[in-house]
Amino acid sequence: MAIEPTVFMATMEKRIGLTPEDKTILKSSADWGKDIASTMADHFYAYLGRDEEMNAILNKSEGRIHRLHETFIQWFHQMFTGMDDWGKGYADCRWHIGLVHVKIGIAPQHVVPAMAVVVHEVGKKLRVDGKSEELQYALGRICMIDLAFIEQAYVEVSSSAVLRETGWSEALFKRLIATGASSM
User: What average pLDDT does this structure show over 52-57?
Assistant: 93
Q: Does 1 have pLDDT greater than 70? A: no
Q: Read off the pLDDT of each residue in 152-173 and give the average, rounded to a whole number.
A: 87
What is d(CA 88, CA 96) in angstroms, rounded to the nearest whole number? 12
pLDDT of residue 120: 96
Could you give the CA distance from residue 125 to residue 98 in angstroms, rounded to a whole number? 26
User: What does the alpha-carbon distance between residue 56 and residue 95 come to, in Å, rounded to a whole number?
Assistant: 24
Beta carbons within 8 Å of 137's beta carbon, 6+ residues apart: 22
What is the model's pTM?
0.89
- pLDDT at 51 (0 to 100): 94
**Beta strand segments in the chain, E:** none
Cα 156 from chain centroid?
15
Q: Are 9 and 145 in contact (CB under 8 A)?
A: yes
- Decide: 58 and 45 in contact? Cβ < 8 Å: yes
Q: What is the pLDDT of residue 109?
A: 92
Which carries the bigger pLDDT value, residue 159 or residue 93?
93
Which domains, ranges and CATH numbers included, belong to the chain? Answer: 5-182 (1.10.490.10)
Could you give the CA distance from residue 130 to residue 142 in angstroms, rounded to a whole number? 20
What is the predicted pLDDT for the residue at 129? 98
